[in-house]
Structure 1
Amino acid sequence: MFMRWSELAFLHWPVPAALLRPLLPQELTLDTFEGEAWLGIVPFRMEGTRARPAPPIPTATNFPELNVRTYVRGGGPGGGRAGVWFFSLDASSRLAVLGARVGVNLPYFHADMEIEGSLDDGVRFASRRRGAGWPGAAVHLESAALRCTYRAVGDVFHAAPGSLEHWLTERYCLFGRFRSGAVYFMDVHHLPWPLREGRVELEANSVAEAAGIPLHPDIAPLVHVAGSLDVRAWLPVKL
């Protein structure tokens, strides 16, 4: 699978590990940085999505997307692979949502979404989920929304290995569950993120709470943004 992610924001909050661990499969271990767990909310524009060798499908190629995620390890010695676990993924393309549910059983939701602007002038992002969209999901429709404006406030840099920024963003594996319940991993490949420090103005933010993870209202997120990056994802492999 090939795709391009653009006008992206990494919004990260420190979250008590005790809130996240019960929401993860027992096969995975919650990953922490210096003892602290993190939750990420990532709005962006998906572009050029296609599965080789098939051509792009117009209604499932370019669309806004929104992910709620945390960081985990699984499989193998030494804690295994470092990767991402998604609590939810919202997209405006019905066909993309259906394809992701059927193909890799990821918790995708259909949402009314808009993204416009640039990182230098400000990216306006709005998302409101249109339904639970996932068997057994305990989701309140009115609680699954994000409205924000984010912008870059610094120059491009690549995160240094060992830094928090590197730990949060340079993840080359995602985990999910097959419909059988077995956990899988999918390797992804891309160049290092061209990060910039960022600033966000949050008008509404309840997608984490809709996943059962309340965020402390007095804690501001750590914000990084990135312009665009080409990404390749491989087929899922049972853990």
Structure 2
Amino acid sequence: MSFEPSSPPNGLPLMRQRWSQLLFAHWPVPPEVLQPYLPARLELDLFEGQAWLGVVPFTMSHIRPLGLPAVPGLNHLHELNVRTYARLDGVPGVWFLSLDATLGLGVWAARTLFHLPYLHARMRLTETNGTLRATAERTHRGAAPAHFRAAWTPGAALPLAQPGTLAHFLTERYHLYTAGPDLQQALRGNRLWRGQLYHAPWRLRTATVSEWESTVVESHGLPTPVGPPLLYAADALNVWVRELRRV
């Protein structure tokens, strides 16, 4: 099942956002390594028998509830998420291990209203002469410490990712799953929500990394990913967010 809209959905989404300065960095990981990080009802979504682990820094801006203006100071944040991919009842989606972010109120809202494992962090994401640089330091009380530093340069535009390709599998995701804001409690519980996103297909680019230092994966007790990541930079796009539903 796939869902690739190019315009806002029928009905009323909860929120509109704009995502930019985004990098998809992925590594293949044996499924048995990642399965313990999913609740029992979710199964890993595999590509040709292989699980994938992603680290994704980006900027979220123009954040506003539908029908309301953006609030200065509350409509812009930087985010760094650690993710893998899962499915339930045939519906593929993203499963987040953590989402470090800069906006305190946004972290509170995401944890409280959307049950997502957002964590407080200091983060910067800047662009100089076409090169993007991101730094992050987790500050969330009680969470395992983690830091991140990377620099990358987006390159040539790629064709739209087609169904059945690895690029499509890793990037064209229109659902997310969550089981609560605390990952360890979520793994032991029986609550599960599915959320839905709407946006145009990603316009992907090649990317070259010149700096990479990170402990965000290791902060979850996972081994350091082996080898260089598979990289895609992405052009900015608008995103509409629907409410979560219990599943």
Q: Same fold (TM over 0.5)?
A: yes
Cα 1:3–1:45 change in 2 (3 A) is: same
Residues 93-132 of structure 1 mapped to structure 2, 5 A cutoff: 93-117=103-127, 121-132=130-141
1:67 matched to 2:75? The reply is: no
AA partner of residue 230 (structure 1): N
Provide the secondary structure at the position in 1 that maps to 2:217: helix
Are residue 222 (structure 1) and residue 236 (structure 2) matched? Answer: no
- TM-superposed deviation, 1:214: 1.7
- Cα shift readout 1:75-108 (whole Å, capped 9, x = no counterpart): 3xxxx21000000001111010011011111111
Name the structure 1 match of 2:185.
none
TM-score normalised per structure 2: 0.87
Q: Which has the higher contact order (CA 8 A, sep 6+)?
A: 2
Q: What is the CA–CA distance in structure 2 between the aligned matches of 1:196 and 1:232, rounded to whole Å?
A: 22
Q: CA RMSD, aligned part only?
A: 1.6
| Runs of 4+ in structure 1 over 4 Å off | 178-181
Matched, 1:209 2:218: yes
How far apart, in 2, do the equivalents of 1:85 and 1:232 lie? 18
Aligned-partner Cα distance in 2 for 1:190–1:216: 30
Query: 1:1-239 residue pairs with structure 2 within 5 A?
Result: 1-75=15-89, 80-117=90-127, 121-132=130-141, 139-141=143-145, 144-178=146-180, 181-217=190-226, 219-239=227-247
For structure 1, which segment, 208-217 or 64-73, has the greater mean C-alpha deviation from structure 2 after superposition?
A: 208-217
Displacement after TM superposition at 1:56 (Å): 1.8
Give the counterpart letter for 2:168 in structure 1. Answer: H
Identity percentage of aligned residues: 40
Q: Which runs of 5+ in 2 are unaligned?
A: 1-14, 182-188
Retained in 2: the 8 A contact 1:15–1:215? Answer: no
Give the match's secondary structure for 2:235: strand
Contact 1:188 1:232 in 2 (8 A): yes
Contact 2:57 2:80 in 1 (8 A): yes
Q: Output one character per residue of 1:49-85: Cα deviation in whole Å (capped at 9) or x when no partner.
A: 112233223232111111110000013xxxx210000
